[in-house]
Structure formats: structure tokens, C-alpha cells
Amino acid sequence: MINRLQKYAAFTCIIPKDGDEIEAGKIYTAPPDNHLLIRTEKQALDFGPPENLWRPSIDVLFRSAAAHYGNRVIGIILTGYLNDGTAGMSSIKRSEGYCIIQDPSQAEYPDVLLSVLDAIEVNFRVPLSKMGETIVSIIEHAAPKQM
């Protein structure tokens, strides 16, 4: 997956090792069969139990990001099955971070997007073609948030 993602990304895509520092300009992807967690300015890998049938689970990542970075987190959910991501997005919302989802009407598998919409009020619901500019707009125009 990382090689496919790298073809379309302006940033360097890598699979982190336990304890790696978080660096600007990098896209991190969890290694197979490990949860990726955020610890203040570092990443942690965990072989904890699957959540929503998955390991890695986006819920684990989002909860840890919300716990350590609070309202400075931007959570993004794209097409997918079941409800992996819903609990994590709820954590980001409770921390007053930003929640963005792909427009379900344009998703190949809208289950996870509809699950998020049933659980919380998202900040942005956009087609993939608008995802990048939405993220840039948040970064450039949002008032700096402090924890």
C-alpha cells in the first residue's frame, strides 16, 4: 500500500518503527498487524487486540492523537466497511478537533462514512477532489488552538 500511496503523494510515505519521532512532511502508515498510536511527538506500535475486527485500527490511532494533541487533530475518513473510525472520530470531535469525511454518495463503500455521520456532526463532508483544499483551508485559516 505504501508504494501505491507514494505515487500520488507529495510527502514521503513511510512505515514507522516504534518510538520514531513524528516529522513534518511525512505520511505514516501502520505496519501490518500492529496498531499505530501517537505519543507526544513520538509514534508507538502496539500488538493490542483487534478493534472492529481490525489491527491496525483507525480508532486506536485517532483516540491516541486526540488524547495527545486534542483540538489540533484533523481526522479524515474515506471509503470503507463497517464502522472502524467512528469511535476515533468521536474522540476527535470531543477534543474539538476537525472531522472530515469523504462524501458518502461518492464512496465505493460508504458504510464507515454513514456510521460516522450517524454518531457525530462532522466539520466537513467533501468529495475526494476537494479533500486537499479542505485540509489546506483548515491549516491556513483556523485560529491556532492550544491544549
Give the C-alpha separation, 90 to 41, whole Å: 22
pLDDT, mean of residues 73-77: 95
Beta-bridge mates of residue 125: 101
pLDDT at position 146 over 60: no
In this prediction the pTM is: 0.89
Give percent of the chain above pLDDT 70: 97
Q: Residue 146 forms beta bridges with which residues?
A: none
Q: In sequence order, what E strands does the chain have?
A: 12-14, 26-28, 35-39, 42-46, 74-77, 98-102, 124-126
In angstroms, the Cα distances linking 78 to 22, 106, 111, 119 are 23, 10, 10, 16
Beta bridge pairs of residue 75: 99
Q: Give dist(CA 69, CA 43) in Å, integer.
A: 13
The candidate with the shortest Cα–Cα distance to 38, out of 28, 48, 47, is 28
At residue 145, does pLDDT exceed 70? no
* Structure confidence at residue 147 (pLDDT): 47
pLDDT tens-digit series, residues 30-70: 999 999 999 877 889 998 999 988 899 999 999 999 999 99
Residues 14-31 have pLDDT tens digits of 999 999 999 988 999 999
Residue 87 pLDDT exceeds 80: yes
Q: Which of 79-83, 100-104, 134-138 has the highest mean pLDDT?
A: 100-104
What integer pLDDT is reported at residue 24 of this predicted model?
87
* Amino acid letter, 108: E
Amino acid identity of 39? R
Residue 131 has pLDDT above 90, yes or no: yes
The whole-angstrom separation of Cα 103 and Cα 110 is 8
pLDDT exceeds cutoff 80 at 2 = yes
